[in-house]
Amino acid sequence: MRPTEAPLDWTRVDVVVPRVPLRTRGVGMAGFRQDVPAPTDIAMVAHPAVTLLVDLSGAGELVHRTRDGHGRGSAVVGLLPGDLRVGGGVGECLQIRLDPVVAASVFGGPAASDGAVVSLADVWGRDAERFEEGLRAAGSWDERFALAADVLSRRLGSGPRVDPEVAHAWRRTFGRRGRVRVDGLADEVGWSRKRLSARFRSQLGVAPKRAARLVRFDRAVRLLAAGHGAADVAAGSGYADQSHLHREVGEFTGLTPSAVAVAPWLAVDDVAWPESSPRS
C-alpha cells in the first residue's frame, strides 16, 4: 500500500530560477525549497523534455513512484512518464529540463526511454554522487545553477551526437507545436518514414508520432491551466474536436481537461518555467 502523503502546499515552497540566462541552449533549471520538509505526493504531468530531478537532501528523501515500481534519490525521467508521482520529505530539490536532443548527449543516449524513470547513479555512476555533493556544498542557488550548467556543458561536449536529421525532426515538431506529419518530416530530411522513425526512437526514446502528440498535448494543457476553455483549446491546438482533446488528456494524465487545468504540477509553471507558459 502507498504511504499516505499530503498534496504539496505551494504556499510553503520557495521557487528559485537562474538570474542570468543559461549558456547551454535547450536546458532549463529551477530550484525548489520547502521550509519545513514534510511527506508530500504530487502527480507529474508529461512534458516534452527529459527531466533530471536532483535530490539535495543527502539522505535519499526524494521518492518517485510509477505503476511499475518506486525508487529514492536523484532520477532521470524520460519523455511520457505516465503515472509518475514525486514526493517524500525532501527539503530542497533541483529540477532540470533538457531538450531531448541535448539530453541524448548529456546522458549518452535515451537514458530513460519510453517514459522510464531511472536512478541518476545508474546513468552517471560515481559521477552522480560527486554532482550531488557539489550542489549541496554550494553556498547559494546561483552557485548551484552555475555548477550544474558547467557539468551539463562538459558532458554535452563529450557525449554522442544525435543525427542532424533526427535533431531537425524534433525541432520542427517542437517549433510547430506538434502539428506535423511524420511523412513530411521524413521528406524534409531525405529519409524514408521507416528510417526516421527507427532512428528517432533509438536516439530520443520515443517514436516521432508520439513525440508530436506529446508536444501538442503540452501546449493544450498549458492553455487550459491559463484559463482557456476546452473548446477553444481544442480548436487552437490542432485537435479534431473537443472530444479528441478529452481523449488525449485522458490518455496522458487519466484526468479530464478541467481537472488537469488545476493540476498542482502546473501550478507554478509561470514562476519556474516562464518561457514555457503560453501567451495566447
Percent of the chain with pLDDT over 90: 57
In contact, 256 and 1? CB cutoff 8 Å: no
- Residue % of the chain over a pLDDT of 70: 89
Q: Answer whether residue 1 is part of any domain.
A: no
Give the mean pLDDT of the chain.
Answer: 86
pLDDT at 37 over 80: no
Record the cell numbers describing residue 20, joined without a space. 542570468
CA dist., res. 54 & res. 151, Å (int): 13
> Do both 172 and 97 map to the same domain?
no
Encode pLDDT of 167-186 as tens digits: 999 999 999 999 999 999 99
User: Which of residues 223 and 33 earns the better pLDDT score?
Assistant: 223
Q: Report residue 221 as a C-alpha cell.
A: 494543457
Residue 6: pLDDT over 50: no
Mean pLDDT of the 18-30 span: 88
Give phi and psi for 161, each to the nearest 5: -95, 140
What CATH number should be reported for the domain holding residue 125? 2.60.120.10
Q: Is the domain of 109 the same as that of 211? A: no
Position 90 scores a pLDDT of 65
Residue-range definition of the domain harbouring residue 61: 10-158
Residues 145-162 have pLDDT tens digits of 999 999 999 999 887 899
96 within domain boundaries: yes
Beta sheet of 50-55, edge-to-edge order:
13-16, 27-34, 92-98, 50-55, 75-77, 117-119
Do both 107 and 188 map to the same domain? no
